[in-house]
C-alpha cells in the first residue's frame, strides 16, 4: 500500500515503532544473555545488574540534550545520530574481553538510546491531538515491547547455535545501523519548528524552570522512578531467576520473558485506550490502578519455585508483562502533556533523567538483595512495594496538565 493513502502521522508512528524495537533489542542483550555472559566473565548478580545500569547511565546523560535539540532542531537528526552511535557501540562489544570495556561501551549504547526516547515522545505529542494521543503513544511503545520479545525469543537460541553470546550483540548492532537509514528516509517533522518549538535560549527561563519544580510534576516523576526500578530489575534478572529458581534452560527462560513482553504490547495499547476513551484523557487514575495491580502480581512471584506448576509461572509472567511492562506509553503521554506541546521534548528529557535514577539503582540493588539473601523472595517483595508507591503517588497527584491541549 502506498504511504500516500495513509495519514502521514501513522507513517511516523511506524517509523518510531521500528527504531524503538531496535534500541530495546540492543538494551536487552545483557539481560537475555546474562547466564552466558556471567559464566564467561565470572560475574555476580550485582555486577550483571550494573552492566544494565551502564546503559541507563548513558541514556540519562543524553536525555536533556536530546530534548533540547529535538525542541529546537527537530527529532530526525537527533534520532539518526543516536541510532548510529548505538549500533557502532554494540557491534564493538563483540570484540572486547574485559568487564570495564564492556561497561563503558554500554554507556555509549545508552547515549544512543536516550537520543531516541525523548525525540520519539516529542514526535507523538506534536503529531497527535489530545484525544487519541495516548493511543498513538501506546502503539509506538509496543515497539519497545517487540524489541524485548525479539531479544527474549531469538537471542538465546542464536547464541546457543553459534556458541557465543557475542553473536547476539553483532545482530543487534547491525539492526540499529539499518534502522538509522529507515528513520533518515521516512521521518518528517510535524509542521514548522519556528512556530511550535522554542529556541534553546528560551528554554531555561524562570517560568520554564517553575514547571519542572511543580509539585505534581515531581510526584509524576517520583512515580516514574519506582516504575523504572521494577521494569529494569525484572528485565535484567528474570532470565537468571528462571534458570536458577524455576530451573528451566536459558532458551525456555527467554521464552517466558518474551511472553511478558508480548503481554506488555497488549498492556501498552490497552491502558492507553482506556485512558483516552474510558477515562476521557485522564492519566493519573489509570496509573493508580497500574501501581496497585502491579504490587499484587509481584507479591505472587515470592512463593514460585521449581516444584510448583509451570503453568503458574507462565500466568504470572503474562500478568506482570501486561502491567509492569505496559505502563510506559501512558506515562510518557502524561509527562509530555504536562507543560504543553512546545516544551514536550524538554519535559520528557528532564523526566527521563529523573526516572532513570530508578533504572540505574534498580538492577544492581535487586541483584544485591539476591546475593545477600541467597534467594529472590525479598527482591520480589521490594519491587511489590515499589509498585504500591506508584499507586500512592498517583493517587495524591492533583493536576495532570497545566492547560488544555
pLDDT of residue 304: 76
Mean pLDDT of 327-355: 76
Grid coordinates in use for 63? 536525555
The residue whose grid cell reads 523526566 is 351
Residue 330 lies in a domain: yes
Least confident of 46-60, 122-136, 309-323, 368-382: 122-136
The answer to whether residue 143 scores a pLDDT higher than 80 is: yes
Grid coordinates in use for 128? 497527535
pLDDT per residue as tens digits for the range 314-324:
898 899 999 99
Question: How far is the C-alpha of 360 from the C-alpha of 57, rounded, in Å?
Answer: 7
The answer to whether residue 219 scores a pLDDT higher than 70 is: yes
Residue 147 lies in a domain: yes
pLDDT per residue as tens digits for the range 262-315:
898 888 888 888 888 888 778 889 999 999 999 999 999 888 765 666 788 889
pLDDT of residue 194: 37
Residue 89 lies in a domain: yes
Residue 240 lies in a domain: yes
**86 in Cβ contact with 113 (< 8 Å):** yes
The residue whose grid cell reads 516523576 is 221
Mean pLDDT of 78-82: 92
The answer to whether residue 49 scores a pLDDT higher than 70 is: yes
**24 in Cβ contact with 228 (< 8 Å):** no
**Cβ count near 16 (within 10 Å):** 28
Read off the pTM: 0.71
Q: Name the pLDDT band for 345 (thresholds 50, 70, 90).
A: low
Secondary structure (DSSP) of 36-57 = HHHHHHT--HHHHHHHHHHHHH
Give residue 147's domain range.
8-193+206-396
Question: How far is the C-alpha of 182 from the C-alpha of 244, rounded, in Å?
Answer: 40
| Mean pLDDT taken over the chain | 83
The answer to whether residue 229 scores a pLDDT higher than 90 is: yes
Residue 2 lies in a domain: no
pLDDT per residue as tens digits for the range 230-239:
998 998 889 8
Mean pLDDT of 354-377: 88
Residue 241 lies in a domain: yes
pLDDT more than 90, % of the chain: 28
Residue 3 lies in a domain: no
The residue whose grid cell reads 535539540 is 69
The total number of residues written for the chain in this structure: 405
Residue 405 lies in a domain: no
pLDDT per residue as tens digits for the range 104-133:
999 999 999 988 887 887 788 788 877 777
CATH number at residue 359: 1.20.1250.20
Grid coordinates in use for 219? 510526584
pLDDT per residue as tens digits for the range 156-201:
888 878 878 888 899 999 999 999 999 998 888 765 443 344 444 4
pLDDT of residue 195: 39
Domain count, the chain: 1
pLDDT of residue 269: 85
Q: Name the pLDDT band for 249 (thresholds 50, 70, 90).
A: confident
Q: Name the pLDDT band for 381 (thresholds 50, 70, 90).
A: very high
Question: How far is the C-alpha of 184 from the C-alpha of 391, rounded, in Å?
Answer: 40
Q: Name the pLDDT band for 2 (thresholds 50, 70, 90).
A: very low
Amino acid at each position: 500500500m502506498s504511504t500516500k493513502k495513509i495519514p502521514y502521522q501513522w507513517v511516523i508512528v511506524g517509523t518510531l515503532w521500528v527504531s524503538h524495537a531496535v534500541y530495546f533489542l540492543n538494551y536487552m542483550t545483557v539481560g537475555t544473555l546474562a547466564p552466558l555472559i556471567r559464566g564467561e566473565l565470572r560475574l555476580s548478580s550485582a555486577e550483571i545488574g550494573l552492566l544494565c545500569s551502564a546503559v541507563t547511565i548513558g541514556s540519562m546523560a543524553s536525555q536533556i540534550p536530546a530534548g533540547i535539540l529535538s525542541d529546537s532542531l527537530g527529532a530526525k537528526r537527533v534520532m539518526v545520530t543516536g541510532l548510529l552511535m548505538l549500533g557502532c557501540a554494540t557491534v564493538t562489544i563483540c570484540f572486547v574481553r574485559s568487564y570495564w570495556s564492556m561497561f563503558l561501551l554500554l554507556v555509549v549504547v545508552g547515549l544512543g538510546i536516550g537520543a531516541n526516547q525523548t525525540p520519539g515522545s516529542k514526535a507523538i505529542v506534536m503529531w497527535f491531538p489530545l484525544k487519541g494521543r495516548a493511543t498513538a503513544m501506546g502503539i509506538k511503545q509496543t515497539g519497545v515491547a517487540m524489541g524485548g520479545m525479539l531479544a527474549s525469543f531469538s537471542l538465546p537460541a542464536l547464541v546457543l547455535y553459534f556458541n557465543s553470546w557475542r553473536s547476539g550483540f553483532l545482530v543487534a548492532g547491525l539492526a540499529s545501523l539499518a534502522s538509522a537509514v529507515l528513520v533518515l528516509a521516512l521521518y518528517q517533522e510535524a509542521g514548522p519548528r519556528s512556530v511550535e518549538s522554542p529556541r534553546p535560549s528560551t528554554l531555561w527561563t524562570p517560568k520554564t524552570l517553575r514547571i519542572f519544580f511543580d509539585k505534581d510534576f515531581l510526584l509524576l516523576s517520583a512515580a516514574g522512578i519506582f516504575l523504572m526500578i521494577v521494569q529494569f530489575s525484572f528485565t535484567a534478572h528474570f532470565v537468571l531467576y528462571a534458570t536458577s529458581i524455576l530451573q528451566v534452560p536459558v532458551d525456555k527462560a527467554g521464552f517466558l520473558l518474551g511472553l511478558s513482553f508480548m503481554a506488555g504490547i497488549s498492556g501498552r495499547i490497552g491502558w492507553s485506550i482506556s485512558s483516552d476513551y474510558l477515562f476521557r484523557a485522564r492519566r493519573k487514575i489509570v496509573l493508580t490502578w497500574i501501581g496497585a495491580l502491579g504490587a499484587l502480581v509481584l507479591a505472587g512471584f515470592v512463593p514460585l519455585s521449581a516444584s510448583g506448576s509451570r503453568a503458574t509461572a507462565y500466568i504470572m509472567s503474562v500478568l506482570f508483562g501486561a502491567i509492569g511492562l505496559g505502563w510506559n506509553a501512558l506515562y510518557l503521554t502524561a509527562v509530555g502533556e504536562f507543560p504543553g506541546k512546545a516544551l514536550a521534548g524538554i519535559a520528557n528529557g528532564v523526566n527521563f533523567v529523573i526516572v532513570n535514577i530508578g533504572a540505574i539503582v534498580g538492577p544492581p540493588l535487586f541483584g544485591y538483595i539476591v546475593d545477600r539473601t541467597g534467594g529472590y523472595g525479598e527482591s520480589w517483595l521490594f519491587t511489590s512495594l515499589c509498585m504500591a508507591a506508584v499507586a500512592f503517588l498517583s493517587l495524591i497527584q492533583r493536576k495532570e496538565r497545566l492547560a488544555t491541549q
